[in-house]
Amino acid sequence: MTDVMSTRRRIAEELQVSATFDAAEEIERRVVFLADRLVDTGLTTLVLGISGGVDSTTAGRLCQLAAERARAAGHPAVFVAMRLPYGVQADEHHAQTALEFIRPDRLLTVDVKPAADAALDALVAGGLTFRDAAQQDFVLGNIKARQRMIAQYAVAGAAGGLVVGTDHAAEAVTGFFTKHGDGAADLVPLTGLTKRRVRALAAALGAPAELVGKAPTADLESLAPGKLDEDALGLAYEHIDDYLEGREVPAEVEAALVERYRSTEHKRQLPVAP
């Protein structure tokens, strides 16, 4: 096997991408996983932010099905979906469509703007300076993601809950998440899925087509609302998925992915220790 092929195999294996895929089987396996974690930990609540994107739509429905499964087995389980907009969200209608599809047991809405803006203001008052407005906006974007993490952990702490994350193989390979922001969670039920496989789960769960096919956005930058992940990354999810599923991709895509995987290793590991 060439070095390039063995590197690709190793990365796909480390990210738990399976060689074969059946959407119905994956849904069942992941619902059972979530329900078992509730029962085994003795905790009663799953907590997850619903953005209107396909990842949280899929994970949210899995959470609701798992809570219902645990209840049917006699465990007092609840799924708490959270809307966590930063002020007014441009695609709020997608978030509402997602909630109608998920039908969560409970919904909690927390605007993260006051807390995120206050954190930035306090940092600036404390003497932090930025290279330019774009850098400040980028840093604020990561504060927004971490503020969402704080809100979800507050609910988990109060309710005896577990925070659910939406990380999957196509995001993990590029490290395209905020460390200790959306990257922080107790359970990650989408692990190992490529983006097209997340979409396949969403479709098999019966999610509306506009969400199944929705273009991914982190939507963290106020200066570039709804900026597409693919523009930010300079990579197409089709290529990322092909790479992870062992299909041919252009050499420059392969090189870019290997480099991103290497440079973001710290995001997939526990803090570095001596």
Ligand X SMILES: Nc1ncnc2c1ncn2[C@@H]1O[C@H](COP(=O)(O)OP(=O)(O)OP(=O)(O)O)[C@@H](O)[C@H]1O
Ligand Y SMILES: Nc1ncnc2c1ncn2[C@@H]1O[C@H](COP(=O)(O)OP(=O)(O)OC[C@H]2O[C@@H]([n+]3cccc(C(=O)O)c3)[C@H](O)[C@@H]2O)[C@@H](O)[C@H]1O
User: Binding site for ATP: residue ranges?
Assistant: 49-56, 166, 195, 217
Complex with ligand Y: residue 104 or 216, whichever CB lies closer: 216
User: What stretch of H or E contains 48?
Assistant: strand 45-49
User: What stretch of H or E contains 80?
Assistant: strand 78-83
Provide the token pair at 248: 């041919």
Nearest CA to 46 out of 182, 189, 142, 172 is that of 189
Which of these is catalytic: 26, 167, 171, 219?
171
Q: Residue from 232, 236, 238, 258 that binds ligand Y (CB under 6 A)?
A: 232
- What distance, in Å, lies between the first and last C-alpha atoms of the chain? 35
Q: Scanning residues 129 to 148, which ones bind Mg ion (CB under 5 A)? A: none
Q: Residue from 217, 233, 235, 240 that binds ligand X (CB under 6 A)?
A: 217
Q: What is the gyration radius of the CA atoms in the chain, in angstroms? A: 19
- State yes or no: residue 145 binds ligand Y (CB under 6 A): yes
Binding-residue pattern over the window 22 to 61 for ligand X, x denoting contact by CB under 6 A: --------------------------xxxx-xxxx-----
Q: Residue from 53, 60, 183, 189 that binds Mg ion (CB under 5 A)?
A: 53
Complex with Mg ion: residue 51 or 58, whichever CB lies closer: 51
SS3 state at 208: coil
CB of 39 to ligand Y, least distance (A): 30
- State yes or no: residue 182 binds ligand X (CB under 6 A): yes
Complex with Mg ion: residue 156 or 218, whichever CB lies closer: 218
DSSP 272: P
Nearest CA to 112 out of 28, 179, 23, 49 is that of 49
Assess whether 117 carries a catalytic annotation.
no
Nearest CA to 235 out of 214, 202, 258 is that of 258
Q: Residue from 181, 190, 243, 256 that binds ligand Y (CB under 6 A)?
A: 181
What phi and psi values does residue 112 have, to the nearest 5 degrees?
-85, 0
- State yes or no: residue 147 binds ligand Y (CB under 6 A): no
Q: Scanning residues 204 to 243, which ones bind Mg ion (CB under 5 A)? A: 217
- State yes or no: residue 142 binds ligand Y (CB under 6 A): yes
Assess whether 171 carries a catalytic annotation.
yes
Virtual torsion, Cα 243, 247, 251, 256, nearest 10 deg: 0
- What is the C-alpha separation between 67 and 154, in angstroms, rounded? 20
Give the CA distances from residue 34 to residues 37, 63, 117, 133, 203, in Å, rounded to whole numbers and listed in that order: 5, 7, 34, 42, 20
Residues that bind Mg ion in the complex, under the rule CB under 5 A: 51, 53, 217
Q: What residues are labeled active site? A: 55, 171
Residues that bind ligand X in the complex, under the rule CB under 6 A: 48-51, 53-56, 82-85, 89, 148, 166, 182, 216-218
Residues that bind ligand Y in the complex, under the rule CB under 6 A: 141-142, 145, 171, 176-179, 181-182, 218, 220, 229, 232, 266, 272
